[in-house]
Structure 1
Amino acid sequence: MAKVNRNSLRLDADFTEDTVGFAIEAFLAVLSFPRHRFTVEPFSRSKERWLGADARLLGHRIRGFRPFYMQFKRPSAYPDLSGAKVITDRKKLGLSVAPRSLFFPLRNKTVNQKCYQHNVLFKLQRRLSKHNLGNAAYVCPLFLDRSAYRLHLHLEALARWPRFWRTRPWDLEDVLMDAGGRTIKFDRIPVLAEHISIPPHDEVKNAKHNYSFDEAGKYLCFHSPKALPDGSSSLAEFLKKIAYDFLGENGKIAPDNAYQALRKLTDLGEEEESILPEIPPFSPDDPIGSWLSWGELLRQQYDIEQYAFVSWDDL
């Protein structure tokens, strides 16, 4: 059950950011796309991951990949009758507050961090877009109570069984792929449709800010305050766009070009100061390894998770 602060009427989710990441990672891990011979993988060298992604990535021949990045957030909420700044800001901007508004704060710097996590994610997203390499965003559930969400997810899965009992509850042809094109219907997978994705919209000078939105993940507001009506989408839409680019012409990073692509992403270029982690040492014979090591460094330093759509020769 969501935790209630009786003084401010604030509701806090009864799960952690790690719980959010684990749930999403589990769903992405079981997806497969045999028509196009690709999967979605955690893309780092971490030895702690239960999925064993390293073994898979090193045990197959990768034809190409497209990275994307998620920073998982845990939501809180205020009811519309609260006098909290999140509510008063939204009312001033004419944004929906009933019956409640969800929000999450930016993360402050730790002792060992030289930059705000938000600014790292912002810089990463901007450079990914500039060089057409992928995308990055905050990802936050649209629910506060873990038990209620699990029940909702379970019931949606059961509702699909009568039609798909001979195969699986989410059939590839009906759910994930359009019959004649490259559109992937992630929105029909409940756990993905129940999360909001928010690309960071600007740099900040401190972490005393929040992103807020309604219970449907709409009417986004950044609390300076500033309304961002087109600043969010569902996680399903976020993944759909990345997959569309991945399946398009020149949408994949080939192994032979992997290190050069990572250099393009992390090099200073025209910028005076880079706040992205430097590429750690790696073997010249293992260009994919440079991405795995860099993804692990990004996770360790800023809790930003690196994933990738991966195309295989021998899937």
Structure 2
Amino acid sequence: MTSYIINSNLSERQIEADVATYLGWCAQGLPFRLLDVNEQATGADRLCDVTVPVYLQFKKSQGLRPLTSLTLARRANESPLQGIRRFRRRHELADDPTLYFQLRKKADGAHELQHNLLLAHHQPQTSYAVYVAPLYLDRDRYYEELCHGPRLLDHPWDWRPTTIWHGYPATGWLSRFDRQPFLRNHISIAPHERVASHNHYYAFASSGDQVSWHSPSAIDGGPFRLSDFMSARLREIFVGDSPLPDPRAAWGAAAAALQQVDMAAADEYEADDAFERLRQHGRWLFKSFAIRQVLLCARKKEIEAIRETLQAR
């Protein structure tokens, strides 16, 4: 094993299970629900007329030690990981260490790369798709953060007693995800371009920013932490002025994504209503590509009341 690689002892399956469960914990008692593809839908879920799909591809981060000098000669068959180190040092991006993950190989029997399918599902503001990876490499530290502090909060400042709580509760709904330490310690990166092979890497700082793509190029935007991503999605719903997507719009985005990658899986879905078709699509994605679907569900009447209250302040 190359001496500059820092291996992680985490498991992608465990990262996926922990993050999906944690998102459900954070959403308890709020005016929306995060419905995981593996959960059973209730009658209340079917009454929700606001539905925003979020498609998650979980990755295990690996680490790279920084280059000690840019004078290191480039070799003819140099590893792309060495190119990551060289690019980040040359462009003064944080690299002590650099965290990274590689795109997944094409699945057996598949005619499309998982990355391109994920990209097709990223259609803001109707649906979103992101890679999610921890900013930790050590399993013990990861689980310590997972179990640290309260998760089920009456309001998001319970774990910061020096902060005085003021304001309309919607402020708390937005801040809850932004302030969760476990979510702050995961990066979320939306796929940004199609690829012809899996030989590409996303790299980033251990602080969850300064993302680069190898090719190579730097990725504009951010912040990239999962906590920021979730807070931004809720902010669009509660304090935005864009139309609220319903199950039909969400299913339409999923069907359009399949057309982009020339897949006909939607023809096999048997459900009549858009909400259940969307969930069938999520189960197919999970089984075939390990892409996890989470549906942000709410009732339009309640969300509009919150918007009106905030606009009147």
Letter in 2 for 1:267: A
CA distance in structure 1 between the aligned counterparts of 2:106 and 2:288, rounded to whole angstroms: 11
User: What are the residue-to-residue correspondences of 1:275-314 with 2, within 5 Å?
Assistant: 275=262, 278-279=265-266, 280-284=268-272, 286-311=273-298
Give the conservation status (yes or no) of the 8 Å contact 2:103–2:115: yes
Which residues of structure 1 form unaligned runs of 5+? Answer: 161-167
Task: Give the whole-Å Cα distance in 2 for the aligned partners of 1:27 and 1:222.
Answer: 28
Taking structure 1 as reference, are residues 277 and 244 closer, same or farther at Cα in structure 2, changes over 3 Å only? farther
Q: 1:171-250, aligned counterparts within 5 Å? A: 171-172=154-155, 174=157, 179-180=167-168, 182-183=170-171, 184-185=174-175, 186-230=177-221, 233-247=224-238, 248=240
Amino acid at match of 1:263: G
For 1:114, the aligned partner's letter is H
TM-score, normalised via structure 1 length: 0.78
SS of 2:21's equivalent in the other structure is: helix
- Is the 1:33–1:172 contact (alpha carbons within 8 Å) kept by the matching residues of 2? no
Work out the CA distance in 2 between the residues paired with 1:188 and 1:260. 30
Matched residue type, 2:114: Q
Instruction: Note the residue ranges of structure 2 that are not aligned, 5 or more in a row.
Output: 73-81, 160-164, 303-313
Give me the whole-angstrom Cα distance separating, in 2, the residues matched to 1:14 and 1:312.
41
Given candidates 87, 94, 116, the residue that maps to 2:85 is 87
Contact 1:198/1:232, CA 8 A, preserved across alignment: no
1:189-214 deviation per Cα after TM superposition (whole angstroms, max 9, x unaligned)? 11110000101111111111111111
The superposition leaves residues 280-307 of structure 1 with CA deviations (integer Å, 9 ceiling, x where unpaired) of 32232x3311011011111122211110
Shift in Å, 1:230: 2.1
| More displaced 10-residue stretch of structure 1: 178-187 or 213-222 | 178-187
Q: Give the aligned length.
A: 279
Which residue does 1:165 correspond to in 2? none
| Alpha-carbon distance in structure 1 between the residues aligned to 2:295 and 2:116 | 22
Match of 2:107 in 1: 110
Return the letter of the residue paired with 2:10: F
- Give the distance between the partners of 1:201 and 1:289, measured in 2 at CA: 29
Q: Per-residue displacement from partner, 1:90-122 (whole Å, max 9, x unpaired)? A: 122232212x11000011102211111111111
Contact 1:277/1:294 (<8 A) preserved: no
Alignment-derived partner of residue 267 in structure 1: 256
Shift of 1:89: 2.0
Identity %: 23
8 Å CA contact 2:28, 2:152 repeated in 1: no
Q: Alignment partner of 2:121: what SS?
A: helix
2:34 to 37, 40, 57: 40
Work out the CA distance in 1 between the residues paired with 2:166 and 2:109.
Answer: 47
1:148-192 residue CA offsets vs partner (Å, 9 max, x unmatched): 22224444x1xx6xxxxxxx7633253799832744111211111
Q: Structure 2: how far apart are the matches of 1:96 and 1:268? A: 35
Give the superposed CA RMSD: 3.0
In the superposition, relative to structure 1, how do residues 25 and 38 fare at CA in structure 2: closer, same or farther (>3 Å)? same
Aligned-partner Cα distance in 2 for 1:146–1:178: 37
Corresponding residue of 2:48: 62
Do structure 1's residue 25 and structure 2's residue 24 form an aligned pair?
A: no
**Cα pair 1:69 1:305 within 8 Å, conserved:** yes
